[in-house]
Structure 1
């Protein structure tokens, strides 16, 4: 297997775009090579099989969705109020929906995981860890609410993200913003 990390990352990013555009059935080495703009056969030199490509695409989506130290630092500087949680939920929603192809690829990967135990295991571990990190951050930061507060916000916002990315006219931008604020008001204690 080839070891050029920049090329590997470009191929994985191309796989994410293929997943978002064509679904899991469209994810072939040829499609990835074409999307990445590399010679046909390149992806097969970097990944032993389609399962490895699917798995690494899932890992990469999470890397790219990580908010980074600056965003975390800004969040920690906020007062510990429901209004701050509301602000954070709006910012998170916008950050995630800005990476449309990543989230759509993740939806495709979730569906594919129902048929691939190794992918299911990986995604379960990644998503569980992501939720646990969000719970720890919320509690350690002293934001209002408990672990269930964070999980309920995660569940509510997850479907709003799906609506925004797949059928944006169901609620529209303004109504979506109102719904995020309403979810926070219903879920997060004063």
Structure 2
């Protein structure tokens, strides 16, 4: 196995360890075990805890960006209902199966990034086809500040995902529809 492939395998295993065992459980030995590799392999490729965390965060961003890119390319947004349906699909993916594990790891890394400028820089939201599709739809509805509304809408969706990861349950369709309606409300519109 090539070095780059081994690093990806280790980063993927680290995501799983972090999701299952938390920050304290993220050790080189735990990653070795999760990857099914001999003890010391992770240390050979990612010498320090910082190197391990950095590789893990870079992999999380790579996976998330890939998912959002594909979704943005595949989901046509022609109405508020289609936008809400696309967001519902994303929230479901983030709360179930491997998406749930990645979400748990992502939030643990977000907390770590508060004290770690390198991790913080890696986790800064990036442009992708999903974000662009949301912004284009909002702009197409005549909303004066589509960039700000897009950021706010996606942050609110992220908050719902976090809330359901911690408290259980799923994000309801009416919650997403309400967020989309708020994003499309004309500036200065009354909050209902």
TM-score range (shorter-chain normalised) is 0.7 to 0.9
Is contact 1:135-1:147 (8 Å) kept?
Answer: no
Aligned to 2:176: 180
> How has the CA–CA distance of structure 1 residues 69 and 113 changed in structure 2, closer, same or farther, with 3 Å as cutoff?
closer
Is contact 2:54-2:119 (8 Å) kept?
Answer: yes
Is contact 2:68-2:129 (8 Å) kept?
Answer: no
Alignment of 1:89-108 (within 5 A): 89-98=87-96, 99-108=99-108
State the alpha-carbon separation in 1 of the partners of residues 46 and 112 from structure 2.
18
Structure 2 length-normalised TM: 0.80
Aligned to 1:82: 80
Is contact 1:134-1:150 (8 Å) kept?
Answer: no
Structure 2: stretches of 5+ with no match in the other structure: 187-192
Aligned to 2:189: none
State the alpha-carbon separation in 2 of the partners of residues 143 and 96 from structure 1.
27
- What secondary structure is seen at the aligned counterpart in 2 of 1:40? coil
Runs of 4+ off more than 6 Å: none
Residue 74 (structure 1) shift: 2.4
Range 53-62 or range 142-151, more displaced: 142-151
Q: Over aligned residues, Cα RMSD in angstroms?
A: 2.5
State the alpha-carbon separation in 2 of the partners of residues 101 and 117 from structure 1.
24
For these two proteins, the number of residue pairs brought into alignment is: 179
Aligned to 1:7: 6
- Is 2:166 aligned against 1:166? yes
State the alpha-carbon separation in 2 of the partners of residues 182 and 8 from structure 1.
42
> How has the CA–CA distance of structure 1 residues 143 and 82 changed in structure 2, closer, same or farther, with 3 Å as cutoff?
farther
State the alpha-carbon separation in 2 of the partners of residues 15 and 106 from structure 1.
12
State the alpha-carbon separation in 1 of the partners of residues 69 and 123 from structure 2.
23
> How has the CA–CA distance of structure 1 residues 139 and 69 changed in structure 2, closer, same or farther, with 3 Å as cutoff?
closer
Residue 110 (structure 1) shift: 1.4
- What secondary structure is seen at the aligned counterpart in 2 of 1:115? coil
